[in-house]
Amino acid sequence: MNAHHAAPARRQRLGAYAVLRRGDEVLLTQLSGRTTASGRWTLPGGGVDHGEDPADAVVREVHEETGLHVEAGCLLGATSVHFEGTSPRGVHEDYHAVRLVYAATVPLTAPEPRVVEVDGTTVDARWQPAADISSGRLDVVDLVTAALQMAAGRYVSAEAVANPPSWPERAAGLRRALDAYVASATDADAAGVGAALADLSDELHQTTRAHGISSGVDPVARASRGHSPT
């Protein structure tokens, strides 16, 4: 006769995380042995306390893990992870994690990051080259890749693939992506903001034209970047 196995403990966790950029670098934290992903790099952030605003949780968690005082910006998106397995505490769990991702900013005069919380889930905090993340040279958790895609306006969920957005929804999404970029940009990124605006004009022009709708986009922006007005 098969032995009776108790149902796994159900656990749901809401977390809030920050995308912080410094030029071509991204602020990441390294997970400790108290996690199931020891040694891998993730975004600074963590669990939202009961009654706590998620944006406040981002500010608190980033300080605990990096020592930096940041300002939370707009909500970029969320990810959901559901699996059954054994927790670092040895408990068999039916685990569901919902992770909110925020754009955030840090003063240009901020010191280098350092871990403040002792014996927690973070053992290191560093500005890491974005190129090392995209190339796979740095071992990051899936949240990092998804969050950077959200920040760049390229994140596509399974639901979005099954139900592609209409052109007005796509245009609104591009607008939100640009707002998120501007919110996290520094003075040194001024040229990048201009390029992002031109890219937005390109995308709106192409999308609305494909639907036979006049977008009202000024073709001068396109011509100034080497495109011929159409």
Query: Does residue 32 sit in the same domain as residue 144?
Result: yes
Query: Does residue 60 sit in the same domain as residue 169?
Result: no
The reported pLDDT for the residue numbered 205 is 65
Buried b (16+ CB within 10 A) or exposed e, 6-36: eeeeeeeebbbbbbbbeeebbbbbbbbeebe
Q: Is residue 2 part of a domain?
A: no
Output the pTM of the full model: 0.64
Stretches in the chain below the pLDDT threshold 70: 1-5, 87-89, 154-167, 169-170, 173-174, 177-178, 180-230
pLDDT per position as a tens digit, 183-206: 666 665 656 666 666 666 666 666
Gap between the Cα atoms of 205 and 177, Å rounded: 17
Q: Is residue 147 part of a domain?
A: yes
Q: Is residue 230 part of a domain?
A: no
The reported pLDDT for the residue numbered 220 is 38
Is residue 33 classed as helix, strand or coil in its secondary structure? coil
Query: Does residue 183 sit in the same domain as residue 140?
Result: no
Q: Is residue 46 part of a domain?
A: yes
Query: Does residue 204 sit in the same domain as residue 92?
Result: no
In sequence order, what are the beta bridge partners of 125?
A: 29
Gap between the Cα atoms of 97 and 82, Å rounded: 6
The reported pLDDT for the residue numbered 224 is 40
The domain total for the chain is 2
Buried b (16+ CB within 10 A) or exposed e, 82-108: eeeeeeeeeeeeebebebbbbbbbbee
Final residue in a domain of this structure, among 104, 132, 154: 154
Contacts of 74 (CB under 8 A, 6+ apart): 102, 103, 176, 179, 180, 183
The reported pLDDT for the residue numbered 189 is 61
Range of the domain at 82: 9-154
The reported pLDDT for the residue numbered 222 is 40
Other Cβ atoms closer than 10 A to 50:
6
